[in-house]
Structures are given as C-alpha cells and as structure tokens.
Amino acid sequence: MFQGAEAEVNERVLCVQSHWKRTSMQIDFNKRIWKSLDEEHQTIQTQILQMLISKLSIIISKLDKLSKKGSDNRATERQVTRVKRWNYILVKEGLDEAIEDLASWQKMFDPAWFLIMKVSSPFIDQELSRHGSAVSSFAGACSLRDALREEPLQKVSVFLPKDGLETAQTREIPFATAKCVPRAGSDKWVVVDCIPCDPEAEVNLVTKDIRELARKLSFVDPFTFGILRCRGVVRVMEPSSGKPSSFDFVFQIPRELRHEPRSLRGYLSSQVNHTLTDRFQLAKQLAKSISYVHTLGFVHKNVRPETFPGFQTNDSAFGSFFLVGFEQVRTVDGRTRRLGDSAWERNLYRHPRRQGLSPENIYTMQHDIYSLGVCLLEVGLWESFVSYEDGVRGPLPAAALDITLDSPEFRQPFLMKEHLIALAKRGLPKRMGERYEEVVVNCLSCLDQDNADFGDQSEFEDLDGVLVGVRYIEKILLKLDGIQV
C-alpha cells in the first residue's frame, strides 16, 4: 500500500518547484516594471498575487504535514524528505488538488501577464532584453512584445502557395465556419479558415490586416491563448479581376489533439455526457480566447458557437476549444465600412447597434464581449439557440430561445437583448449559480451607459488599449475563475 509513497511526494514537490520557478521570475519582473503600469493594472496584478499567496499557503501546509527531515548518510550537506506514510494516505488527494489549483492560478495569471506586453514603456523593453532568455515564460512574452510592434524585429513571410493543401480531400466540421484539410504529401491535417475579401474593399488595407493577424497568430501557444497557431495564409485570386477573392488562414492542429473536431454548436446540439466542472472549464476557455484576440490588438466581430471548434482529449468530455472564424477581423484602430447582414442567426450574437446591413456603431472590444455573453448563456443552459433541422431550408430558432421568427425580438434588436438577459436571470442561477449569471448579464449589458464596469467608453481611451483588457480580466475572467463547483 505504501510502496512508492516517498517518490510520489518528491514528484509533487518538484511540480510545485517548477511552477514556482516560473512564477517567482514573473513576480520579480513585475516588481521592476511596476511603475510603468497604470493604477488599475497594478490593482488587478495585486489581486491575482494575493490569490497566489493563499494557494501557496495551503500547499506548504500540506507538504509540512507529509514530511519529516533527516540527514542523508551519503550526502551530509543536504536534507532528504522521508514520508510520513500514514499522513500521505490521508492527504494525498488534497495535495493533488492544491497543486492543480496552483497550475490553474498560473493559467489565470497569464492574461494579465501578457497584457503587460502591450504597455508602451522603454523600461519593459529593457527588462525583457536583460532577462528574456531566463525562462520559457519570458520567451513567450518577448515574442508577443515583438509581434505587437509596428515594425517587428523578426520578419515573417505569411503567404503560402495554394498547392500546399489537398483541397479535394477537405472535411467539413459540422456547424462550423472552418474546415479540416490535409497538407500536400503528408498525413497531417490543418484547420483552414476562409476570410472572404469584399470586392469593394481597399485590397491593400485588407491585405495589411491579414498579414498583421497572421504574423501575430504565428507565435501563439494554443493551450495558453485558446487560439490555434497560424502556419500561413493562402491568397485565393479571382481569375477575372486578378484581385483576391478570399484569404485562407491555415492553422496547425496540436499533436496532442485528435483530428476530428466538432464545433461548439455541434456540442450544444447533442446530448454529450459531461460534468458541471466541464461546463465551467469550457466557459473559461471561451472567455480566455477573447482576451487574447484583444491583447493581440484585434477585434474579432464574429464570436459565436460556429467559430469555436473543439478537439477531444482524454481529460474532458469536451477537450480543448479554440477561436477561429476571423472572417471579419480587423485591427482595433483600423478602418471599418460598417457592413453587416440580415441573417438572424448571426445577428443573435451581435449587439443591437451592430445588427443589420448598416450597423450604427463602429466595432469595439465591448461588442466581442457582448457576443461572448450570448455564447456563455448557451453554455450555461447547455442548449443551442439555433437549430438545423433535416429537410428545412435555413436555421430555425431552437426551443431554448423561447421565441419564433415571427416574434418582435427579431425586428427590434434591443428587445432581443432584454430577452437574452431575462433568459439568463431566469435559467442560469439554478443551473450554474448566481455568480455565473452575473458574469453573463455583465457581458450582455457591457455597452449600457449604466453598466459600472464597461459602460463609460471614455474610460478605455488609453493609448495602448490596455484598460479595457484589465477590466475584462477583473470582471469576466477572474469572476469565472473564482466560481467553485
């Protein structure tokens, strides 16, 4: 029963030390560049670090109960841990949970950590150049910092030849905007996401945005950012005009994942056995990916269940989800033609002032937050709002939406918004708890003038576009992470 107990404890100690090495260096970095952060950014960093102190105290307490110190006859200068075996049996599960909490804290800290890389300060550049090669976390920060420059130090060619993909063997991902395509001469598959090029748009400006997005997505860690790594873009040309008709983004599928993805819409439309923990983890994945799109300096404009393909793993009923569907993406400060469409199944995920053929408002980060709120509402209820029935042309409102296409909500967008908020308040507390419901309602009301967290647009007009990211981390990501199941 006790065989291997000491080795298992030592393994767990090494796990804690590994997490702590990275974390301690990040904390030390933060101390040195602290004055470069604005007050709100400092506040959220402090709040997250206080959570770390609490988790470390729990782990240290459990490790102390497990060990006794003694001298090793073969190495008098070092101490060795000898396991109190009966104690190990009693607290093993709790110790594993504590270590898992520490790992989850690191994932929670990452968005705030990478957001620092957006701050325009020579002190940050100096510290990164001085300590950038120390640990892998700094390497990722350096890559992001470089990617966010107008003139990056590392020049990357993003455009790929069209014959690099076996398009004849394309596999559809049910209810998804992206597809799976094999690479030419290889058994490896990639995800291809097509971005149509508006024939009336300025080709040079569109190409610039495409190049910038592909370059920034070329370095991301999929499991950290919730976004697949871009291997390049295939430019599809229109023979008659010689202009591009679309840009096909090619995304690498991590080797740890199976190559048969299902969209979030597909999961919501099926009866998949899962736990409440799985559902909360899924919600956090969706929220995290939105955060990183904004950190990269883009607004997505197309957040909905069709743009989240999920790849199965052995750890969860759902696996890992990644945000694609960048068909209308642009830089936050880029030009927009305010073009829309009348498809109800798309408008359902758009803020009322962004619906229809000619949306009223210029797109901002908060519009993506609203779209996320609709997705989180579906995840919380675990019911799809859109139904694709066999033999029926076009999608229909599903029963969970509790209205029909003849309802006034589809003609008056603000009525739809209030209807979604009412669904959240009525259905989420008993299924996901009041704190989850508050997060969803906050997303859906994020552009209301009386919304205390996001309503005042003038608050977020900082030069680097950091403040709205800080507020998002505080009011959305941390709130989701703080929910205990």
pLDDT in tens, 32-70: 999 999 888 999 899 888 888 887 787 777 667 655 554
Q: What is the pLDDT of residue 339?
A: 59
Q: What is the pLDDT of residue 70?
A: 47
The fraction of the chain above a pLDDT of 90, given in percent, is 38
Mean pLDDT of 397-422: 95
Per DSSP, helices labelled H in 243-364 are 264-268, 276-295, 344-347
* SS3 (DSSP) at 232: strand
Model confidence at 238, pLDDT cuts 50, 70, 90, reads confident
**What mean pLDDT value characterizes the chain?**
83
DSSP state of 2: -
Domains and CATH numbers, the chain: 4-67+79-113 (no CATH), 159-482 (1.10.510.10)
Q: Which residues contact 8 (CB under 8 A, 6 or more apart)?
A: 88, 92
Name the more confident of 284 and 10: 284
Mean pLDDT of 299-303: 91
Q: What is the pLDDT of residue 305?
A: 97
CB 320 within 8 A of CB 310: yes
Q: What is the pLDDT of residues 124-144, one digit of tens each?
A: 888 888 765 555 567 678 878
Q: What is the pLDDT of residue 171?
A: 92
Per DSSP, helices labelled H in 162-202 are none
Name the more confident of 182 and 460: 182
Under the phi-then-psi rule, with left for phi > 0, alpha for psi from -120 to 50, and beta for the rest, what region is 242? left
Above 90 in pLDDT, residue 420? Answer: yes
**What is the pTM (predicted TM-score) of this model?**
0.87
Q: For residues 471 and 70, give the distance between their C-alpha atoms in angstroms, rounded to a whole number.
A: 49
Q: Which residues contact 464 (CB under 8 A, 6 or more apart)?
A: 118, 119, 120
Q: What is the pLDDT of residue 461?
A: 60
Q: What is the pLDDT of residues 423-470, one digit of tens each?
A: 999 999 999 999 999 999 999 999 999 998 887 666 666 556 688 888
The burial class, CB within 10 Å (0-12 / 13-18 / 19+), for 84 is middle
Largest CA distance in the chain: 83
Model confidence at 219, pLDDT cuts 50, 70, 90, reads confident
Above 80 in pLDDT, residue 264? Answer: yes
Q: What is the pLDDT of residue 338?
A: 52
Q: What is the pLDDT of residues 407-419, one digit of tens each?
A: 999 999 999 999 9
Q: What is the pLDDT of residue 260?
A: 81
Q: What is the pLDDT of residue 68?
A: 54
In the sheet that holds 244-252, the strands lie side by side as 159-160, 230-237, 244-252, 189-196, 179-182, 171-172
Q: What is the pLDDT of residues 342-382, one digit of tens each?
A: 889 999 999 999 888 777 678 888 999 999 999 999 999 99
Q: For residues 400 and 133, give the distance between their C-alpha atoms in angstroms, rounded to a whole number.
A: 51
Q: What is the pLDDT of residue 71?
A: 47
3-state helix, strand, coil in the chain (%, to 5): 50, 15, 35
The fraction of the chain above a pLDDT of 70, given in percent, is 82
CB 111 within 8 A of CB 291: yes
Model confidence at 230, pLDDT cuts 50, 70, 90, reads very high
